[in-house]
Chain A
Amino acid sequence: MGYAMIDLEILKTLSEAAGISSCEEAVCSQLEAYMQPYVDRVLHDGLGSVIGSKGDDETGPKTMLATHADEVGFFVKDIEESGTLRLMPVGSWWTHMLPGHDFNVITQDGQKIKGFIGSPATHGMPSEQRAKTLAMEAIYLDLGVADKKEAEALGIRIGDMVVPDTNFRVMNNPNYLAGKAFDNRASCAVGLYVLERLRGKKHVPLSFACTVQEEPGLRGARTSTDLMHPDLAFAIDTTLAGDTPANTNSCKLGGGVVISMLDSNTVYHRGLIRYVEKVCKEQGIPYQYAVFNGGGTDSGNIHKSFEGIVNMTLSIPIRYMHTNQSIIHKQDLEACVDLLTYILCAMDQQTFESICA
């Protein structure tokens, strides 16, 4: 199977865009520009989520795809007299993964200021200290400046966002892609690829919501859902691959779209899961499973909205989530796009009611 439809330029642009929770404006404008040619109208919720809607007059259940647009990162918490920056994490980070890595501060006027995260000197470090990871309070960004004045002269202010300085790249086997913020820009890209595939096809009334502020508490999912009031919804998100020496589970890169069974806030709709399994089998779409309740997805707030929304999360397996660089596989994106495109075209009221029954 070739993966010709995966437009790497879109994925690269979205991956490299800076946008931690509440600072998604640039990412969301980019997403809006990408979705514009494919949708009938673009809406915004009050928190900044951008939602493309099409086929409002079509029959069948109102369906929403939700992909969060924010990424994990930091806020500048303090600028010390020495010119070093203290950081407030947004989303979960493990300090083990921080020292030595390049990060950018994004100033109010959009300037990228390079720096990297410093660490204690490793020479002569007592073995007890060597065996421990640093406390988050010990983490700081070194800008290579003499003092606070120089840092401020760069335009840096408390509250600016700090994101990994990581370029998107194609790995040695070109199906493997590396970059930052694939959680969850890879899924945003999936949404865009689906819109492209739907061009000229008949499908259910559809909204594609790029939600904000998922990482701190699924907040944009709540507000987007309120705006669109769908009957049926798929959150698309990344999930832990367990195919490395460091992690093992049943999910692997290249194994296909992941049918997630639950998350920390949701037991996905069992009827919908059965339907999706059936589609994958009949259409020959590669799929695998994840049963991971150690984290949440937008589904957590979607399914409890209004009278309850028939909802599940489809996932893209990812290595090294919530670090400065992760790896995903083209085939998994492709499988997710195939599955969603099929469902959106095949879904009708009768099928929906049989899922609900």
Chain B
Amino acid sequence: MKKQYIERLEALVNAMGVSGEEQDVRALLKKNLIADEWVSDRLGSLFALKRSRNPKAKTLMLAASLDEEGLMVSEILPDGKLKFVPLEALSPASLLHQQVCVYTREHQCFTGIIGCDNIKFMESAANQIKMEDLILDMGTGYEEACNTFTIGDLALIKGDFTMLNEHCAMGKALNNRLMLEVMIELSQALQESELDYHLAMGGIAQSVIGWRGSKTATYVIQPDAALVLTGFDTANSQPAAKRGKGVTVGIYDKQMLPGKRLLHDFVDKVQPCQEYLGIYGNDGSFIHKTLKGTPTLSLGIAMSHLGSNHILADLNDAECLKNELVKYLSGLSSEDIESFGYGVCYD
């Protein structure tokens, strides 16, 4: 990946985007995606619409998550530490002793650490740790904490972007932010092409917290078919999903079964493709079943250590995904898109 792309990816990864406060990530999308027109919903999702000259053009939605898992301050304790609730299911094991950035109502950022005062870790086993034992130690006393923080402030779990070697990147929310980078490069690569269909590319707010923005984004885009970009977890996968294998497609998850005609069309044209079956869902969950139903396929690349703030991904996979998508999207027609949907009339 080119140097300036890696710099942009770094900005995307490090940006604050905890569910409900995605404005920094959204601003990066707005700066970098190329749009004929912008489409937003009221939860904070943003899409760049590339319009087709075809008067009967169908609409393809290409989506990834804008937001990331984080914490919300729930109480300021008498010793100046902060109690919190996790937004979405996070494991206390992955949170303990991680650095956080608490953002105040004015969007000022303060660094701290997730600690646990109830247990001496030098003496006790780590598996005793429970979510309710964890607190944020911001290095302040009570009064200073009260003057700085407000109940309801959001915290991101720090995982600064790092290149481990020439091809392997690490960082928080990499599973989603790398997909946004792929989307940005894609929009630039397709800038001069005339497509036979409208292409709506963008990020969905409040997505990792129950795919809430997926519903409202689908409402404003009204897609005829959708491709969802995501990272697929290599841990305990069967068949084994591996980094460095290029494009991966989602065959099954608990929230969505892909549109079969779309899936077959994609894997026929994009070879080789790593297949993925797992439980964890993606934005497709609500895209495919909102409104009249939309044929949807999840695709992306294999990544490791999902659920942590240090996700690993191979940038060669991302490059491969982008190149394959440029080819696939350039060759796609409104007629193809219509055929994925079994002839459902949207008018």
Cα(A268)–Cα(B87), bound, Å: 12
A-contacting 9-mer, from B71-79, B137-145, B270-278, B314-322: B71-79
A249 touches B43 (CB 8 A): no
Known: A261-B151, A273-B152. A291 touches B72 (CB 8 A): yes
- Ordered nearest first, which 7 A-B pairs have the shortest CB separation? A308-B42, A291-B74, A308-B216, A261-B152, A289-B151, A267-B20, A308-B43
Chain B residue numbers with a CB within 8 Å of A349 are none
A304 touches B216 (CB 8 A): yes
Q: Mark contacts of B284-315 with chain A using CB atoms, 8 A cut-off: 1 yes-contact digit, 0 otherwise.
A: 00000000000000000000000000000000
Known: A267-B20, A267-B206. A250 touches B151 (CB 8 A): yes
Known: A274-B105, A308-B43, A309-B42. A291 touches B220 (CB 8 A): no
- Tell me if B41 counts as interface (CB < 8 A to partner A): yes
- Tell me if B267 counts as interface (CB < 8 A to partner A): no
Chain A residue numbers with a CB within 8 Å of B85 are 262, 291, 293
A307 touches B152 (CB 8 A): no
Cα(A303)–Cα(B42), bound, Å: 9
A239 CB, nearest partner CB in chain B, Å: 13
Task: Give the residue name and chain of the A residue nearest to B19 (CB).
Answer: A267
B42 touches A289 (CB 8 A): no
A306 touches B20 (CB 8 A): no
Chain A residue numbers with a CB within 8 Å of B75 are 249-250, 291
B193 CB, nearest partner CB in chain A, Å: 29
- Tell me if B331 counts as interface (CB < 8 A to partner A): no
A315 CB, nearest partner CB in chain B, Å: 13
- Tell me if A270 counts as interface (CB < 8 A to partner B): yes
B-to-A contact residues, CB < 8 Å: 19-21, 41-43, 45, 72-75, 85, 87, 105, 150-152, 206, 209-210, 212-213, 215-216, 219-220
Cα(A19)–Cα(B18), bound, Å: 39
- Tell me if A356 counts as interface (CB < 8 A to partner B): yes
Give residues of chain A (66-89) contacting chain B, Cβ–Cβ below 8 Å: none
- Tell me if A27 counts as interface (CB < 8 A to partner B): no
Q: What 10 new A-B contacts, CB under 8 Å, besides A231-B42, A250-B74? A: A250-B75, A261-B72, A261-B152, A262-B85, A262-B87, A267-B212, A291-B73, A291-B74, A291-B75, A303-B43
- Tell me if A326 counts as interface (CB < 8 A to partner B): no
26 contacts between A and B (CB under 8 A): A250-B75, A259-B152, A261-B72, A261-B151, A262-B72, A266-B212, A268-B20, A270-B20, A277-B105, A289-B150, A291-B72, A291-B74, A291-B85, A291-B151, A291-B152, A293-B85, A304-B212, A304-B215, A306-B216, A307-B41, A307-B42, A307-B220, A308-B45, A308-B213, A308-B216, A356-B42
Task: Give the residue name and chain of the A residue nearest to B83 (CB).
Answer: A291
Chain A residue numbers with a CB within 8 Å of B213 are 308
Give residues of chain A (231-248) contacting chain B, Cβ–Cβ below 8 Å: 231
Q: Mark contacts of A265-295 with chain B using CB atoms, 8 A cut-off: 1 yes-contact digit, 0 otherwise.
A: 1111110011001000000000001010100
Known: A289-B152, A291-B152, A308-B43. A267 touches B209 (CB 8 A): yes
Q: Chain A CB within 10 Å — which of B42, B45, B74, B210 has the most?
A: B42
Chain B residue numbers with a CB within 8 Å of A309 are 42
Cα(A198)–Cα(B84), bound, Å: 38
Chain A residue numbers with a CB within 8 Å of B150 are 289
- Tell me if A310 counts as interface (CB < 8 A to partner B): yes
B292 CB, nearest partner CB in chain A, Å: 15
B43 touches A270 (CB 8 A): no
Chain A residue numbers with a CB within 8 Å of B220 are 307
Task: Give the residue name and chain of the A residue nearest to B43 (CB).
Answer: A308
Cα(A338)–Cα(B58), bound, Å: 49
B210 touches A265 (CB 8 A): yes
A307 in complex: contacting residue of B19, B73, B209, B216, CB < 8 Å: B216
Q: Mark contacts of A298-328 with chain B using CB atoms, 8 A cut-off: 1 yes-contact digit, 0 otherwise.
A: 0000011111111000000000000000000
Q: Chain B CB within 10 Å — which of A250, A268, A293, A307 has the most?
A: A307
Cα(A306)–Cα(B42), bound, Å: 9
B219 touches A307 (CB 8 A): yes
Cα(A323)–Cα(B206), bound, Å: 34
Cα(A356)–Cα(B219), bound, Å: 18
Cα(A262)–Cα(B41), bound, Å: 20
A316 CB, nearest partner CB in chain B, Å: 18
Task: Give the residue name and chain of the A residue nearest to B42 (CB).
Answer: A308
Task: Give the residue name and chain of the A residue nearest to B152 (CB).
Answer: A261
B42 CB, nearest partner CB in chain A, Å: 4
B74 CB, nearest partner CB in chain A, Å: 4
Chain A residue numbers with a CB within 8 Å of B219 are 306-308
